[in-house]
Structure 1
Amino acid sequence: MPEKNQPPVFSGRGVTAVLGPTNTGKTHYAIERMIAHGSGVIGLPLRLLAREVYGRIAARVGEQHVSLITGEEKIVPPKARYSVCTVEAMPSRTSAAFVAIDEVQLAGDLERGHVFTDRILHLRGTDETLLLGANTVRGILEKLLPGLTVVERPRLSQLQYAGARKITRLPRRSAVVAFSADEVYAIAELIRRQRGGAAVVLGALSPRTRNAQVELYQNGDVDYLVATDAIGMGLNLDLDHVAFAQDHKFDGYQYRPLNPAELGQIAGRAGRHVRDGTFGVTGRVDPFGEETVERIEAHVFDPVRILQWRSKDMDFADLQALRRSLDRLPPTQGLTRALPAVDQQALDYLVNYPEIRDLATTPERVARLWDACALPDYRRIAPAQHADLIATLFADLVQLGSVNEDFMAEQVRRADRTDGEIDTLSARVSQIRTWSYVSHRPDWLADPTHWQEKTREIENRLSDALHERLTKRFVDRRTSVLMKRLRENAMLEAQISVDGDVYVEGHLVGQLAGFRFTPDSEAEGPDAKAVLGAAQKALSIEYEARAARLYAAGNSDFAIGSDATVRWVGEPIARLTSGDDMLRPRVVLLADDHLSGTARTHVAARIERFVQHHIATVLKPLDDLSRAEDIDGLGRGLAFQLVEALGVLFRRDVADDVKALDQDARAQLRRYGVRFGAYHIFMPALLKPAPAELITLLWALKNDGIDQPGYGELIPALAAGRTSVVTEPGYERTFYKLAGFRFLGKRAVRIDILERLADLIRPALNWKPGTGSRPEGAYDGRRFTTTPAMLSILGATVSDIEEILKGLGYRADEVSAEEAATYLARQEAPSEEQAAEAPSETTSDAETQPTATDDQETPASDEPASESASTETEASAPAAEAPAEPVAAAEAGEEEQPKPVLLWRPAGNRPETQRPQRQKQGRGRRPVGGTAEAGATPAGGEPPARDKQQHRRRDNHAPGGKGKEKRGGHPGNRKGKDAERPAPMAARPPRKERPIDPDSPFAKLAALKDKLGK
């Protein structure tokens, strides 16, 4: 007789339904009732929830009395009296005194509902049976189970709608719900950046990983949880707010909106015990309608009108008989035949495999095939692929009696790797869960215990690695720990490494440099606030200690960099800025506001003392000269100008002042390290690298020059002790002079090197033909040639020295190499008359020529108004080139013509302010142009007529020379000392006269000049 004609066998006698919304204590009530009996079985919808209940019961009665049975895990102590199971793992029949089934409303679920329905209808405890679930199943349960006792439990707290909020503005202790792994990961990443981190709970995670993530949230390490609807199934979470980031889900058959009952089940997780909770939407989800909100708040949902059902009486006569038994109709109203589940879908594929039909020829084998089809599809792959795996297992079971261990070992080995990212590890966890299920089928393996331990070990290792990856990606552990400790108002422990790294509670929070704390650059949003607050609390004592150490530190612990930063033991503590006096810059403290009071005052005072001491020490000659009280009169005025110019004056600029100095005044200045050179008045001690670098820095501070082109690149090169460098046109030219260099065309030469060049030029210009051996470079007593010694001290090539000499005011005459050789040969063989006159000539020359001393009495002539002579400074350049050898005469037999010889001579008339030269009868006329800028007065015998004529012709066209266009006519027409003298060409535009401050040294200097003039 058909099953549908048989009377119902279901009964509710001895069954109690405890119904109510979430947070009513139903699960807690079931646990209390179970341990009141001597034995019991409880079925739960999730392995995660089963783990939680197992722990609670084991803590009450002892682990030796509790077993845990799921599809993937079995913990069965010999003396176990209580069993905690997933609903699928519950036994079909039991002798336990107590049975409880949780979340019975899932009997209406399309995928798993038939399993819940079977347990509701058939599984009973000998003493007590509890059905736990929502009010929505009350009607259908009372209809199917006559005599059922119903107990309704009210919710312990209120649930209210909070509307829509941005994810970044959700309150603490919130859960964000989404229904795809990609969406869950994206939301968790956003929360990590903005709020410090979030725990992640997905159904695809292994139970161990989900437990670890839930614990991360429950412990307060993070304040946010991002999860799927898995949290709606009885998980006891400390949630205050639930926000829906999605309101549609794919249920295995279609993408559909969640109904109010499903929304209420998830939203009901907010609120714990008597603490109220809220729910709302976030992201791109539209706010809930008024009706939906009211139903969720009041827990009023559409009742479950029908339960999913599948026959439990299987006919294993053959494959077709098995399929027909699965297609049977339910025996009573209120039940509906369930859609094909994963196991039935696999069977539908397998019956079409010829090899399976050939093997499944007996009822035992058909039953074994159906048993294999129960393998869960943890991998979420295509049904056909899942069916292929079942076919392989079934073939081994039939042909070998157990699963081929070589095949299983290979599959397990492939999953036993902990490298890779989240998706890779999740796939391996799913893979190993499949083999863990296989290992817990004792009739499938020859050595099930070995494989149970092996797969459990691998699954635990993979789960831990997955939890680590999830935490690393979605949780900032440093921020979570700091925020937790700050909420607890606990004293934070801080440590500072020797490199200045600041650790709070073992987490790097930033860098301490001097008295400034820089938070970690990765901190964002409230993370930055938490880090800053924690660090400042922990560093307050450190600031005081550092201030005390700095105040007692010696000057050797401090340094001033080229960027104007003052450093203490390498850490920046202050910055120099421009002050009223160039030698007294202002000090700006680099410190946080937390360095205050007496400690800040002491730090500032100590830095001030160091800066003043450093400048006074490095620039001691300049400082002594500025304070000199034994220099008076014109010498004091020159000293004032030298200090203002930071130790270097061009002699031509102060020619009148130098001429007016008597020997006593000069001696006073020399005692303070002042040197009177041919081209400059300077202090050699300031040309060393350290003083030159400091002088340049002080000028840059006063003139906003630190940001000028070339400062950062030029000063280190100039301060490295080079004698000359190639110039860079784009750099600030003043830096060359400040560093003790003179800008001369394409090269800048150090000032003291130019004075050494003058010492080499002077003997060549002072020599007269026929007066003895010719000095190196001398030609005819008024011109000279360059020598290897000149090239060597300048570090320049032949073309470079031409630019340098032109910049110094010399002009070149070209003569052929043959003519120069002939003339020199004639001069080096003097006649008897010349030899007899030589002593008197030498004596006369000694009377009229200046001596080659550092303090040259005869001032240098003005430089010509060429570009190279008028520019004084410029910026740095590469290293000096190696000096080139002088040009040698062409070897015999070469076809190239000998190069002309350049004869250098002073150019331009001597300024009227220069002291006139004395002349003697019979000495011949002096060369036109007066003394050279080198301080030497060229003199000597008359050159050959052609040379003399050429010399005059060039002078008439040289800047400052005597030409017909000059006022006064031809030089031959000038008579007497009152004849009009042509005005020399100025090297630079005349300066605009400024009124002299009567209190300045210049006023006294001008008055003294007027008095001497009168």
Structure 2
Amino acid sequence: MIYSKPGSVKAVLGPTNTGKTHYAIDRMLGHATGMIGFPLRLLARENYDRVVGLKGKGSVALITGEERIIPDNPRFYLCTVESMPMDKKVSFLAIDEIQLCSDPERGHIFTERLLGARGIEETLFLGAHTMASILRKLVPEITFLHRERFSRLQYSGHKKITRLPPRTAVVAFSAANVYGIAELLRRQRGGAAVVLGALSPRTRNAQVALYEAGEVDYLVASDAIGMGLNMGIDHVAFSSVRKFDGNNFRYLLPSEIAQIAGRAGRFMSDGTFGPTADLGPFDDELIESLENHSFDSLYSLFWRSNKLDFSSPISLKRSLETSPPTNELRRVRVSDDYGALMACISAPDIMDMATSPEAVRLLWEVCRIPDFAGDLSGSHLRLVRRIYKFLMTAKCRIPPEYINRAFNRLNRIDGDIDTLTSRIAAVRTWTYVSHRSEWLEDSAGWQQKTNELENKLSDALHGCLTQRFVDRETAVLVRRLRDREPLLAGLSADGKITVEGNEVGWLEGFNFVPNDKSILTNPHLLGAVNRVIREAIAERVSKIESSKDNNFSLNIKTGEINWNNHPIARLTKGASILRPNLEILPSDLIENPEREQLRLRLTAWLRNYLSEQMLPLVRLNELKFMGEIRGVVYRLTEGLGCCNQSEISVQKSKLSVEERKILANSGVRIGVVTIYMPKLLKGKLMSLKGLLYSVFSSAELPTEIPDGGATSLTYQTGVSSDWYRVLGFYPSLPLAVRVDLLERLLADVRGLSRNGPFSVPSKMLNSIGASPNDFANLLRGFGYSVNKSEEKLIVSRNKSKKRGLRHKTKIRKLQTKGSDSPFAILKGFGSYSRSE
């Protein structure tokens, strides 16, 4: 044990960026021998390298749970607090971040060093001002040196993540949130370095190097940033101040927030802090505390007895549960090593082995193997029990083949970030074990293997993090934008737009479509893009004017006209349903003369296209008609090849034989209830006719477009009869039947019923896809009598006079019932032109 020298104990207290660690190292190097305990392996390694540079490798030792570099006669020891060799007497001793005595998980270790670790000539405790009061009570002989921060720390208010200034560290308290913020920064700002407590020192240093080298302007970190990161951070942004501490979710103490915020501003450079994302503004009291480094003093520290009884596992348990000697100390809650001991005590086979003080001491040493992965599955406890059983055998060694199997399972660099992180944690456990030379054969060999594997996995993890969270090209572009440098932009033949070699979007028609919407909010970048596009517009207009018709297409669903699959115009209501107009899609990049050039070319294409698709109707309209036939053609055009006879009953009755021949030769069929053009009932024209109806009526499609094979539709109440007519269907409750099939059906029924009642064959129902009930109601609407006999439909004509009276009566009744009636719908056909 290191003994105390009266008057030699000093506390160096102050906020971050006060040079406490540098002061301690300078003091240590003024002594013949010295030792410093750090809270992190990373810090121990960083300061080891520094002291080696000053004193040489032969004079300096590094001791951590996973790394030991001990020359023959070292003068100075750089250690993690847990790994400090307490049997070494040194002139100087220091503990860094002594306020961690209040940490629920590791506090008892720091408190043990506070109460018992001393340098022969000088002892320093480095930490926060919050420790001053309790240090006076626990270490009466202590003196204080208070250090002020070299630079100011100032609150700067809330900032959106996408508006954070360069050289910002964003703090989150879960891996998922860290990843989410880093991905957002990758999309918006080219990426971010990532720092998590679970990262190995090698991976962490590599990520920090990305930031320090300026390859990325942002760092996203957990509260691991609060210690051991001395770098050029100008602003610390908190996405949350709530964390899970291993047992519960809780809010950070002001002093904990200060520890993290203090990373902003190094040496003489001022720093700022504030909330971001969904975190609201800080209250005034908290801001004042952080800016003035004024926090409530700690009133108690975690403690655990170091006077352990190894006579039995139960005795060891009791000694660990000893109550603290003073009110300023409180017993540590369940720690990992204590939890492992409890698990071993509950295992009868372990208890059978731990029957001597030596066996119990070994059990405790095995229980203290760190659980780097924070395992919740029980695998770490199983490993502890297995290792103890191996060590209690006659050979007292862990079998090489067992370690080798575990090593081979971990010796893979495939997998995602979480997988690689888990493997590194497992390797770190075996690295710790490998430094217990009495536990395994060839300890040095296994140390080398595990270190090499950790490095390999760490490099793979760094690569994985960089690939996921860093876009170097975008990062370079963002920096050039920030520095207001001229940007080189270009447009490729296929419409892709690049700025400084980075694809930022493409030209779709006459509009810029960005890869990321944030581009639209950056005037400097958008200016470079627009400059390129404006230069290309005139050329593109000329190309469109000279394009062949097969370069254009009509999007039936949207009504847009495409050029080489890019939308450039859309249909609008015209003089008639068959002659829609068009307008060029909105674009700030097209001048009015160019817009008119495009309109004329596209109008010519549209006329040709509709003439091809609706050829029978177009040719019919090209004929010069006079008299009654002209009205028939007008109605057919309104209905896109279909109209109801009730609309043109007068004109039809006055048609001459010659005019009927002209209509027949033009592809017009005159039926019993409709007049229609069979070639315009084809399925592929359904969507086009639906679009023309929607454009002309300035309304959404009332129903879905039926497929090409549809023979009938369920009539929907409230849907205009014009809609069914345009599609080529005749609405008659409860169905809307395709007109050519309806005319054929009515002709068949007339023929069969001449000889009296007949049984409806199934193929007649199938021809229009109707159920027996729907079929019966359909024919009744046309004045037939339909009855059921032995599951068959029997159809017969009503007497001529009565049928006529019935038909007229039905018309009157249905008309009074509203639009649900087919006769009301027929009336609608007749009023179509007037309503327009």
TM-score norm. by structure 1 comes to 0.55
Partner of 1:933: none
Structure 2: which amino acid aligns with 1:455?
T
Q: Is the 8 A contact 1:565 1:573 kept in 2?
A: no
Contact 2:13 2:129 (8 Å CA) reproduced: yes
Residue 65 of structure 2 is aligned to residue 71 of structure 1: yes
Q: Work out whether residues 316 and 366 of structure 1, in 8 Å CA contact, stay in contact via their aligned partners in 2.
A: yes
Shift of 1:217: 6.3
Give the drift of 1:72: 0.4
* Further displaced range: 986-995 or 207-216: 986-995
AA in 2 matched with 1:587: L
- 1:624-663 correspondence runs (5 A): 624-628=619-623, 631-632=625-626, 639-640=633-634, 642-644=636-638, 646-648=640-642, 654=648, 657=651
Larger radius of gyration: 1
Q: Specify whether residues 147 and 226 from structure 1 end up closer, same or farther in structure 2 by C-alpha distance, changes over 3 A only.
A: closer
Q: Provide Cα deviations, 1:783-839, integer angstroms capped at 9, x if missing partner.
A: 8999999x9999579999x989997xxxxxxxxxxxxxxxxxxxxxxxxxxxxxxxx
Instruction: Determine the structure 1 residue equivalent to 2:612.
Output: 617
Residue in 2 that maps onto 1:916 = none
Residue aligning to 2:41:
47
Please give the alpha-carbon distance, in whole angstroms, between the structure 2 residues aligned to 1:242 and 1:733: 63
Are residues 666 and 28 of structure 1, via their aligned partners in 2, closer, same or farther at CA, if it must alter by over 3 Å? same
8 Å Cα contact 2:203-2:462 kept in structure 1: yes
Structure 1 gaps of 5+ residues are 329-334, 521-526, 765-776, 808-865, 871-895, 908-953, 962-984, 997-1014
Q: Does 1:559 align with 2:557?
A: no
- For 1:486, give the aligned amino acid: V
Q: Aligned to 1:489, what secondary structure does the other structure show?
A: helix
For residues 355-366 of structure 1, the aligned pairs below 5 Å read: 360=357
Q: Which residue of 2 aligns with 1:529?
A: 518
Deviations 1:647-706 (A, max 9, x none): 445567546546656677777777866677787666565455566664454234323565
Q: What SS does the aligned partner of 1:713 have? A: coil
- Give the match for residue 405 of structure 1: 400
Partner residue of 1:24? 18
Provide the residue aligned with 2:325 in structure 1. none
Q: Who is 1:868 aligned against?
A: 782
How far is 1:614 from its partner? Answer: 1.2
Q: Which residue of 2 aligns with 1:738?
A: 726
Deviations 1:858-913 (A, max 9, x none): xxxxxxxx84389xxxxxxxxxxxxxxxxxxxxxxxxx99x999998xx9xxxxxx
Paired residues of 1:26 and 1:132 also in contact (CA < 8 A): yes
Within-5 A mapping of 1:149-188? 154-160=148-154, 184-185=174-175, 188=178
Does structure 2 retain, via aligned residues, the 8 Å contact 1:379–1:430?
yes
Displacement of 1:379 after TM fit?
6.3
Q: Does residue 478 of structure 2 align to residue 486 of structure 1? A: yes
1:441 aligned residue: 436
**Alpha carbons of 1:674 and 1:273: their partners in 2 closer, same or farther (altered >3 Å)?**
same
Q: Is the Cα contact below 8 Å between 1:57 and 1:66 reproduced in 2? A: yes
Of residues 242-251 and 264-273 in structure 1, the stretch that sits farther from structure 2 once superposed is 242-251
Aligned letter for 1:297?
A: N
| 2:804 aligned to which of 946, 954, 959 | 959
Asked whether the 8 Å contact 1:248–1:256 carries over to 2, the reply is yes
Distance 1:29 1:725, change over 3 A: same
2-structure distance, mates of 1:639, 1:388: 91
| 1:773 alignment partner in structure 2 | none
Q: Helix, strand or coil for the counterpart of 1:112? A: helix
In the TM superposition, 1:79-478 aligns within 5 A as 85-89=79-83, 102-103=96-97, 110-115=108-113, 120-122=118-120, 154-160=148-154, 184-185=174-175, 188=178, 203=197, 206-208=200-202, 210-211=204-205, 214=208, 221=216, 223=218, 225-228=220-223, 231-232=226-227, 235-236=230-231, 238-241=233-236, 243=238, 264-278=258-272, 293=288, 297=292, 360=357, 375-376=369-370, 378=372, 389=384, 393=388, 396=391, 399-409=394-404, 430-457=425-452, 459=454, 477=469
- In structure 1, C-alpha distance between the alignment counterparts of 2:95 and 2:406, rounded to whole Å: 35
Letter matched to residue 549 of structure 2? N
After superposition, the CA RMSD in angstroms is 7.3
What is the CA–CA distance in structure 2 between the aligned matches of 1:275 and 1:98, rounded to whole Å?
Answer: 32
Distance in 1, matches of 2:171 and 2:832, equals: 81
For 1:530 and 1:291, the matched residues in 2 are separated by 36
Q: Give the conservation status (yes or no) of the 8 Å contact 2:171–2:178.
A: no
Change (3 A) 1:187 1:497: farther
| 2-structure distance, mates of 1:786, 1:319 | 100
Residues 987, 86 of structure 1: alpha-carbon distance in 2 compared, 3 angstrom cutoff? closer
Closer, same or farther in 2 for the Cα pair 1:285/1:78, shift >3 Å?
Answer: farther
Which residue type is aligned with residue 868 of structure 1?
F
Q: Within 5 Å, give how 1:492-571 maps onto structure 2.
A: 529=518, 541=532, 544=536, 547=540, 550-568=544-562, 569-570=564-565
Query: How far apart, in 2, do the equivalents of 1:660 and 1:157 lie?
Result: 102
**SS of 2:705 mapped into structure 1:** helix
Show CA shifts across 1:342-393 (max 9, x none): 89979999999876775556xxx9997887676556466899x979948954
Q: How does 1:718-733 map to 2 (within 5 A)?
A: 725=712, 728=715, 733=721
Task: Report Cα offsets for 1:707-751 as digits up to 9, x if no partner.
Answer: 223xx333x33xx5x8x6576465654445434555678887766
Equivalent-residue separation in structure 2 for 1:989 and 1:295 (angstroms) = 81
Superposed CA deviations along residues 599-636 of structure 1, whole A, max 9, x for unmatched, are 766555543332222123333444344454x5445665
Matched residue SS, 2:582? strand
Evaluate the alpha carbon distance shift between residue 277 and residue 555 of structure 1 in structure 2; reply closer, same or farther with a 3 A threshold.
same
State the distance in 2 between where 1:794 and 1:988 align. 25
**CA positional deviation for 1:71:** 1.6
Distance 1:151 1:738, change over 3 A: closer
CA distance in 1, matches of 2:250, 2:742: 92
Partners of 2:304 and 2:320 within 8 A in 1: no
TM-superposed CA distance for 1:29, in Å, is 6.7
- The Cα offsets for residues 202-238 of structure 1, whole Å up to 9 and x where unpaired, read as 5555434544665676667574645336614564461
1:30-59 per-residue CA deviation (whole Å, 9 max, x = no partner) reads: 779999999997653311223444667789
- Distance in 2 (CA, whole Å) between partners of 1:677 and 1:305 is 100
What SS class does the counterpart of residue 121 from structure 1 fall into?
coil
Shift of 1:121: 0.9
Structure 2 CA distance, aligned partners of 1:803 and 1:727? 12
Q: Tell me the SS of whatever aligns to 2:575.
A: strand
User: Separation in 1 of the partners of 2:294 and 2:688?
Assistant: 81
Task: Tell whether the 8 Å contact from 1:241 to 1:279 is kept in structure 2 after alignment.
Answer: yes
Shift in alpha-carbon separation, 1:536–1:992, aligned structure 2, 3 A: same
Show structure 2 runs of 5+ residues with no match.
Answer: 323-327, 807-822
Counterpart secondary structure, 1:586: strand
Give me the identity figure in percent.
30
- Return the TM-score normalized by structure 2: 0.65
**Map of 1:689-768 to 2, 5 A cutoff?**
694-704=688-698, 706-709=700-703, 712-714=704-706, 716-717=707-708, 725=712, 728=715, 733-740=721-728
Rounded to whole Å, the distance in 1 between the matches of 2:570 and 2:21 is 68
Code of the aligned partner of 2:804: P
